[in-house]
Chain A
Amino acid sequence: MKNPVMMIAVGLCVCLGQLAGAPLFGNAPKDEAAIALKERIVAAYRSQGIERGIQMLDADGRAFIKGSGATGKFDFFSAVVTDAANGSGREDLEWRLAVTEWCYNFSWAEGEGYWYRFLTPVMHERYFEAGRYGAARAVLDRERTRKLEGGRELDIAQLATDGRVNAEFPAIARKTLGGLERIETKDFPFFISQAQQDLVEGKWRSGMEAAALASEHAMSTIKSFEARPNLVDSKAMASEMTANWRRAKMLSADGFRFLDLPELEVQELEELSGFEHDEWKGWSDVMMGRSRASQLTYILGRENRIETIKSMEEIRQEFKKERYTSKEDSDRVYLMIADIHFRDGNAGRGWAVIDEIRNKAGQSRDMKFEVDREWARHRVNTGNPEWVEPVLISLLTIAREGGLKQREIELYEIYARLLVALGRYGDALVIQKELVRLLKSFDLFPRLPGALYQLAAIHALLGEGDRADSALKDARRTLEIAELPDASRKRFGAALNHPLPEPSNENKAADPITDLQPMKSMTIPLEGLLARGLFTLTNLSGRKVAGELQFQGDGLVFRDPQEGIISLNVSAPDGLKQLRRKVAIAAGDFLAIDLSRNSPLDAGVSQVSIRWQPDEGNPQSAEWTAEDAEVGISFAITDAGEYLDNPFYLIPVYHLLQYKDAFAEVADIRVVASAPARVELYDQDDELVFVDVDGDGSFVSEGDMISKDLNRNSLGDLTLDAAKQEMRFRLFVRPVTVDHQKPLSLDLQLLQQGEWVTHSTDRIVFPEKGE
């Protein structure tokens, strides 16, 4: 120590013995015992499997942490987490997930706050990799709630708006921190995780807003630190922020891809790949961005094929050389090259690439999905629809099981085109309608004109001129009001100006099939509120179905007619005992039958029998019973039904939630099935609330997803509108296995002061074979 001044200062510290051992700041774990224990745990995993490794973490690891000081604990966590990320966990994703999960759960439960915070984005990423989107969402919700309690609002929807991110596409608000100055730099990676989560759940608006906020903050931080190179953390901060910026930009590009706005997607990608920085983190985003930008510039006509393929091939080779990125990145670039070949009319080369990737062994589930989807898409595009349907159905199943709404939408588009190519226009109509419903549900308005045009085209093929015109008009109106970049509007507009096809005689329609559901429904309203019931009559066939609906009960009166709904009052003083109405239902369409007791003051039991007599085919009947109102209850799901399973479609199971006081603002809801069943719940606005892939009522399985959770407790919820006292919601249920002897029961439960209370139990009965 040459500096005399320091000799005094440090000498003082030394003479004050209690200050000895001051920290030497640095990251690498040094505690030998911590490192040795980590090695033993990894060795146990390697020799005896994941379970043994986790057992050791739980026993020896826990004991070590409990008995260590700050540095020992830190080093143990650091060693284990680093090994899971870059060591043993790199070779075995399941082990990586298990270790991360143990550390994350331990740190949350036992109050290792630093590690909990560090692991939050890591855990999110791991669940994401594993397709456990519900669990990933729960990680974000937990952190958002923790921050919120501390006065930091990380919910993008709650942040102030200051203009628009992109003047050409004003749907994405520029979010600012105005007033919420308690958000810190270390909070910003959270917005990236949120963007990733929202995009996969189809919530493109909030996802892209979060990505924009994160990228803007990252760039301003990079600039700020680059201007102060003397600070010890300048390089580290600029590096970290560069990686954040790259990820956020890639997510923005993903958002524009989801919206089918390649003109804006390419801008994001070019910005991403054009930002020069020597930081390695985020390198794969930059390279992938370059590749995608090349593909898009070719598609948009700004680049020739040879140059495009050359630059993409270079990127593919770069990826192949790189050890520390996903080994499948090069194949992803290869798929893009195949796409260029197809677009250039060189299908042979395209198929050669796709076949080469398809034939590779040991692919991840995600890669397999991508290559199969591309195979199916190009088969349909090149007029080779044979063999495609089973592949598409399998992909659709995977997308549904994974809760991947984004992918589900892409697949519906391909599927509808496939069915048209196969001449199954009725089936195509059903799929296209479902696609339009999903696009509306996720407010994907840029894609809607195209989807409506496709719907019009299918109607036209079916010879339903009026419906075709109506859908086309709808498409034009949607495009007219949509705020889109000029180039995109022009592209969409040109597509709508193609003449609709002539009616085709090739429709391979199935026999008319209709389905009246539920078979039985019972209602017990809240005191002072109406007893209500809802039935659906669905046309599952590829052509129009006509017939007569007959109602029998006391005091029946038709209410004002509405399109697609037959409404009638029951127990009306001047009503009749029987009513009939002729109806016709278009292919793939459905009719709602809305029953309502005449007055909330009506007492006793009301019953209505419904009979559907189609012009062709077998009749069906259903029963509705309304009982006396329930006294002393302030909110409840007031109905239950019995359904006959129909393997051809997802039966909508409607329910009514009645409430006298909306103070709680939300009702946490779940459905517990008696046997594994996929349950999707949509709210009164037909927006997805949750997907529970096995119907166990928890949301941690692979593919589970919570899309609405206003009170941020990791449970799906229904929003109570203070201006109303009831809301309808619907479930779609698909049993995983069918037991013809044993109906599936569904307990609909609401969370009341920490306890799940069953309000209603539905039954789904499986028809005997041949029934």
Chain B
Amino acid sequence: MSRCLFVFISLLMQLSGSDSQNLTVSELRNRMSKDDLPAMVEMAHRQLIGEVMPFEQEFVLKAFTKGSEAGIARARSGLADCHMWGVGMRRDTSQVMELLEMAAEQGDPLGTYRLGWYCCHGVLLKQDFERGLKLIRKASGLGSLDADAGLARLTLTGYGVPKDESAGLSQLRSLAEERGSSQAAMILADFYRGKFAEGAKQDPVLATKYLLMAGEKNHAGALVALGDLAMEKSDRQGAANCYRKAIARNSGEGMYKLGSMQMRDASVRMEGEDWYQLLLAADAVGHGPATLKLAQVNYHAPGYTFRDLDWKKSAGFYERWIAENPGEWRDQYMAVEKLLEMYFEGGLGLDRDFNRCIVIAQPQLDYNVWAAAYAGRVLLHQDAPLGNTREHFIRGYACLLKSRVLWKMQQQKIYWLSDEALFVLRSRHGMTREEVARAEELVQQGFPNPRTPLLP
């Protein structure tokens, strides 16, 4: 019954929008002037995929929102993309899956493909490769070129399907060169840049060819990659221009890269450009490195200009970045260290907060050197802010020892905390041989850890 209903509704929606997909841009504009919603949705779609420029984000969001409320499948999938990529709004993934499920249910090829891809890769939901592949194949059947490119990519890389490099390449070439798929061109470029396997053979000439092909179709990723290529050749102005084009496609990576460049290099700034605003914009579209960069910038401005440093903002960016990027181990370490440092030292708008240090540190005590280190520093602080019993000092010292154990486990050759530092810190509170032995014993017993309260 439900399937019959689905087919019926799909038919209805396709009927209502099917002719829009075949209209020229001027025809679309003509219809839009008469408040034709399917035409607005189609125009928004073409802007979203880069077929029509400029990319008017406010309009795109508005069109998809209205279309989605009216039940247009393409609008729902487009609105999901807006939420996912922060188009005309701050990135917010809470409704993405719901919108995509609806779009796929209604038979929208792009929505079906996106849902399939997310299923395959476990994006925003638990990975379900079987369902994902089924959805991508369905999207392909519905005429999605992106889905065709996605399937070819799976074949090329052997991800979840038997690997057939030759077939995959052949399909991608056909899609890119004969059917104008920017997605396929980008996949080929990545392949020739050796992105799919470590140590893979690279072919810079072909890589550039396909990047240019994708770039011509306003593929944001390709535009950023072209910028990176220019950077490799020390062509900073050329790189900046590529990033600008990517930014016009709402690329967070482009914003981040241009903003980072401009931060210290005034020669790549154009009138009216503001590197800090670019980083904020990249953060708003959910580009994690920009969030991290903003945290770093507010922690320590480049050069000798400090007036607007704001540790409160820095801490906010760091805390959000840590929450949103649990898998980024290397940067997590640095972020936690900086965050703990800021709460430990205080200043630049952030109040010193030793308790907050403990709260941040406690869950990470099993693996994070800095968490253990700062817990130790708090407990052994000269003013003993969280208590001055001998047990506080013993536990504090145990935390320092633990941080050294963790450091060694991570195969660092030189202790971050020298013997000298340990001596100074234990000497500060006159710790005895017996107290130090007790701290060593605590570490052997697994202290400190996320489960046992740090404070006595």
Contact = CB atoms under 8 A, between A and B. Distances in A.
B420 A158 contact: yes
Q: Chain B interface: which size bin?
A: 35 or more
Interface in A97-133: 107, 110-116
Interface string A740-764: 0000000000011110000000000
Interface string B230-251: 0000001000000011011010
Contact of A25 (B267, B271, B301): B301
Q: Of B58, B278, B420, which is in contact with the most chain A CB atoms at under 10 Å from its CB?
A: B420
A556 B57 CA distance: 103
Given A8-B55, A8-B250, A231-B265, A28 B307 contact: yes
Contact of B430 (A28, A150, A753): A753
B430 A664 contact: yes
Interface in A456-514: none
B284 A232 contact: no
Contacts of A151: 373, 416-418, 421
Given A70-B312, A148-B424, A10 B57 contact: no
B90 A16 contact: yes
Contact of A10 (B54, B236, B277, B432): B277
B306 interface: yes
Given A114-B348, A148-B418, A9 B304 contact: no
B328 interface: no
A149 B428 CA distance: 12
A240 B267 CA distance: 22
Interface in B260-308: 263-267, 270-274, 276-278, 280-281, 284-285, 298, 301-308
Contacts of A27: 304-307
Given A8-B247, A111-B352, A232-B303, A15 B265 contact: no
A99 B296 CA distance: 31
A713 B421 contact: no
Interface string B396-430: 00000000000000000110111011011101111
Contacts of B284: 12-13, 16, 19
Interface in A127-166: 145, 148-151, 153, 155, 158
A753 B307 contact: no
Q: Of A1, A5, A10, A70, which is in contact with the most chain B CB atoms at under 10 Å from its CB?
A: A5
B194 interface: no
Interface residues of A, number: 69
A166 to B, nearest CB: 27
B345 interface: yes
B418 A71 contact: no
Contacts of B165: none
Contacts of B180: none
B433 interface: yes
A187 to B, nearest CB: 13
15 contacts: A6-B270, A6-B272, A8-B54, A12-B57, A12-B281, A22-B280, A24-B308, A71-B307, A78-B307, A112-B346, A114-B309, A114-B311, A231-B303, A663-B436, A751-B430
Given A12-B57, A113-B348, A148-B418, 18 more contacts: A3-B271, A8-B54, A12-B281, A22-B276, A22-B280, A23-B308, A24-B308, A25-B276, A30-B307, A70-B313, A71-B307, A74-B348, A112-B346, A112-B347, A230-B267, A232-B264, A232-B265, A664-B432
Closest 7 CB pairs of A and B: A233-B303, A111-B346, A70-B349, A111-B352, A23-B308, A113-B345, A113-B347
Interface of B: 54-55, 57-58, 88-90, 236, 244-245, 247-248, 250, 255, 263-267, 270-274, 276-278, 280-281, 284-285, 298, 301-313, 341-342, 345-352, 373, 377, 413-414, 416-418, 420-421, 423-425, 427-430, 432-433, 436
